[in-house]
Amino acid sequence: MTKFAIGVDLGGTNLRIAAVDGDGKILEKLTTGTEVLRGRDHVIDEMCAAIQNLSLKYAASGALAGIGVGVPGIIDLQTGMLRESPNLPGWQDYPVREEIESRLGTTVVLENDANAAALGEKWLGAAAAVDDMCMITLGTGVGGAMVLNGHIWHGDRGMAGELGHINIETDGVACGCGGRGCLEQYASATAVKRMAMEAIASGKAPELARAMNDDPEFSAQAVYRMAAIGDEPAREIFRRVGTALGIGVADLVNIFNLPMYVIGGGVAAAWDAFAPTMLKTAKSYSYIYRVTAKDGNTVITHALLGSDAGLIGAARLAMME
Amino acid sequence: MTKFAIGVDLGGTNLRIAAVDGDGKILEKLTTGTEVLRGRDHVIDEMCAAIQNLSLKYAASGALAGIGVGVPGIIDLQTGMLRESPNLPGWQDYPVREEIESRLGTTVVLENDANAAALGEKWLGAAAAVDDMCMITLGTGVGGAMVLNGHIWHGDRGMAGELGHINIETDGVACGCGGRGCLEQYASATAVKRMAMEAIASGKAPELARAMNDDPEFSAQAVYRMAAIGDEPAREIFRRVGTALGIGVADLVNIFNLPMYVIGGGVAAAWDAFAPTMLKTAKSYSYIYRVTAKDGNTVITHALLGSDAGLIGAARLAMME
């Protein structure tokens, strides 16, 4: 009898739940919008109902190895409390793990969503061949994770890996964290949209303005579509993403000297628009990258599992416990 | 019979060699200027003669546990080559470990000087009570080291911990590493002196100008003496040191979430001149620092072993092997 695990990726926008087998194959995946406005209890209720449905459905074909849940924000791993989660308004100091466990009547493994995604990419994705890696996840915000000696580096209070808050510009754009000029303000989907709005407001981005008027859901993805067809203001926005990421990755190379840095999350789909600037900038700002990249000893690459990385990593985590 | 080890701290300015016993007590310490201009072979000859003298002298009272040598710059630990060392001109790609071993006829443990200093502070200094720590060493350059799970984190090619090259200002002061705006350009002794020269050149630092004229050896230390007696331009220089360090440490807190960050090296003697700005800046730029510092779960402090940290750490390393 094979085993399977339930992996959950609770995002500010989407809630994804999957049954994953021991080889990482997704047996079934449920995706719904996260109804944040209906409150945290509603979201947790819906998540737990789906977990129970999937568990029952696959119980006949294998043993449930565990349930792993990736959530955005800073988790206190000791208490299972969400300490800060800008993308889940109202969830601050919410005992997420306790709430899930009391509904399911079983233990769950809680993990930061970026850590879960890194474990997914480490297991079956871009970083399958290395022991140590760092992942930067470009979503609504920018998350991060380090796998050192094969394990997530959680830090003293489970708060490590806040790579979206590496400083890029001392007096830069104000950030939700209270700082200024954080990587997140230049490389998240939110930042791409903000930079597009700024370009439109300056009157120098007529095609972006037209795209925005035509599309009530105007998003980072729409800006990328404009960049992909050669719109110069849109291309410039992704060069700015690349510069910020290049500085951030150079910092990480100078600090860690890891063999691999993986860029994932929705904005990573715009890889061809930001990667050339990112790699050039990383070369400028890191001697170590310059001397090690040419021998293939430092690789900066894009994630391979797309939006499934977090799900797969959360399931993997449940199997590892 | 007790054991002892020889620890060496080969700096760009000073060469220090000590016999250290198993409790970390320095039995004897030799300090000479590093005669860099007489060439690397001369420096290595002199170092090895001193190591042999000390080894013989203490051989009667204990067993030699090993020889540890801390050297500045980026070391390829696999080959024992010095890959880059701005403070030892002409040493690039010099097989340091091989040269020492061939003269002494025995193996030696080579380590980056900042890593050695961190091990010293971890063993007997500021970080004796924690398992994980990060140290930033403010000397001629700025070095760094991380002790994770009790061990130096070397990275994939032994090049990790280049914390002096964390980016502080995208278009900042050009750095010897090829980048711009590196922490080293704002927080090293070299940077303090450069900022003092800039202040003098601007005509707005008359007391610093007088101090420089009076003192042919005008140094970062002299700038600190001026700050300590309240000279405003000198104080402003150390506030700039504090801002840069605060951003760098905030990055490290956001990345690692360690319980302790230790600031050492010669410039750390100016702690009271830069620490208030550093701590305030770290609070601004790190949510994690804000929430954990108040409970004492993140401590940013100064080193305790002074210029002996590297020596003691190098000796410790030799005992650990």
pLDDT in tens, B138-170: 988 899 999 999 899 999 988 899 999 999 999
The pLDDT tens digits for B256-290 are 999 999 999 999 999 999 999 999 999 999 999 99
pLDDT score of B83: 83
Whether A1 shows a pLDDT value over 70: the answer reads no
Among A158, A243, A287, beta carbon nearest to B177 = A287
Considering only CB atoms, which chain A residues are within 8 Å of B157?
A: 257, 288, 292, 297
Most confident of A71-75, A139-143, B63-67, B184-188: B184-188
Contact assessment for residue B146 and residue B127, using Cβ atoms and an 8 Å cutoff: no
Considering only CB atoms, which chain B residues are within 8 Å of A172?
A: none
Among B161, B250, B291, beta carbon nearest to A83 = B291
Whether A321 shows a pLDDT value over 80: the answer reads no
Contact assessment for residue B116 and residue B122, using Cβ atoms and an 8 Å cutoff: no
Minimum Cα–Cα distance from B136: chain A residue: A255
The pLDDT confidence band at residue B12, using thresholds 50, 70 and 90, is confident
B114 shares contact with chain A (CB less than 8 Å): no
| CB–CB contacts below 8 A, A to B | 144
Instruction: Find residue B148's DSSP bridge partners.
Output: B151
**For residues A258 and A299, what is the distance between their CA atoms, to the nearest angstrom?**
9
Considering only CB atoms, which chain B residues are within 8 Å of A256?
A: 153, 155, 160
Whether A167 shows a pLDDT value over 60: the answer reads yes
The pLDDT tens digits for A152-162 are 999 998 889 99
The Cα of B295 is separated from the nearest Cα of chain A by a number of Å equal to 12
A163 shares contact with chain B (CB less than 8 Å): yes
| 8 Å CB contact of B247 and A292 | no
pLDDT score of B199: 97
B67 shares contact with chain A (CB less than 8 Å): no
Minimum Cα–Cα distance from B295: chain A residue: A157
**For residues B301 and B316, what is the distance between their CA atoms, to the nearest angstrom?**
22
Helix (H) or strand (E) holding A135: strand A133-138
- Which residues numbered 290-309 in A keep a CB inside 8 Å of some CB on B? 290-292, 297-298
CB atoms near residue B13 (< 10 Å):
13
The pLDDT tens digits for A48-62 are 999 999 999 999 888
| 8 Å CB contact of A160 and B255 | yes
Mutate to test the interface with B, among A157, A249, A284 (most CBs of B within 10 A): A157
Whether B97 shows a pLDDT value over 70: the answer reads yes
Considering only CB atoms, which chain B residues are within 8 Å of A158?
A: 257
Among A160, A167, A257, beta carbon nearest to B155 = A257
Among B146, B163, B247, beta carbon nearest to A170 = B247
pLDDT score of B1: 54
- Which CATH number applies to B2-121+307-320? 3.30.420.40
> Same CATH fold, A130-303 and A2-121+307-320?
yes
Contacts of B74 by beta carbon, 8 Å cutoff, 6+ apart: A287, A288, B82, B83, B84, B85, B112, B158, B159, B162
Considering only CB atoms, which chain B residues are within 8 Å of A74?
A: 287-288
The pLDDT tens digits for B170-182 are 999 999 889 999 9
pLDDT score of A76: 82
The Cα of B57 is separated from the nearest Cα of chain A by a number of Å equal to 40
Whether B61 shows a pLDDT value over 90: the answer reads no
| Ranges of each domain in chain A | 2-121+307-320, 130-303
Considering only CB atoms, which chain B residues are within 8 Å of A114?
A: none
**For residues A177 and A192, what is the distance between their CA atoms, to the nearest angstrom?**
18
Contact assessment for residue A255 and residue B161, using Cβ atoms and an 8 Å cutoff: yes
| ipTM summary value | 0.92
Whether A171 shows a pLDDT value over 60: the answer reads yes
| 8 Å CB contact of A179 and B250 | yes
Considering only CB atoms, which chain B residues are within 8 Å of A132?
A: 156
**For residues A124 and B39, what is the distance between their CA atoms, to the nearest angstrom?**
51
**For residues B43 and B48, what is the distance between their CA atoms, to the nearest angstrom?**
9
| 8 Å CB contact of B166 and A243 | no
**Average of per-residue pLDDT across B96-110:** 94
CA B104 to chain centre: 26
The pLDDT confidence band at residue B72, using thresholds 50, 70 and 90, is confident
**Average of per-residue pLDDT across B238-243:** 98
Among A251, A258, A284, beta carbon nearest to B156 = A258
Superfamily assignment of A130-303 in CATH?
A: ATPase, nucleotide binding domain (3.30.420.40)
The residue with greater pLDDT, A266 or B13, is A266
**For residues B130 and B294, what is the distance between their CA atoms, to the nearest angstrom?**
18
| 8 Å CB contact of A132 and B156 | yes
Minimum Cα–Cα distance from A181: chain B residue: B285
Pick the range with the lowest mean pLDDT from A267-271, B174-178, B246-250: B174-178
Burial-class residue B268 by CB neighbours within 10 Å (0-12, 13-18, 19+): buried
pLDDT, mean over chain A:
94
Contacts of B33 by beta carbon, 8 Å cutoff, 6+ apart: B13, B14, B15
Considering only CB atoms, which chain A residues are within 8 Å of B82?
A: none
Q: Evaluate the CA torsion angle A267, A272, A274, A280 in order and state its sign.
A: positive
B249 shares contact with chain A (CB less than 8 Å): no
**Average of per-residue pLDDT across A18-38:** 92
The Cα of A309 is separated from the nearest Cα of chain B by a number of Å equal to 21
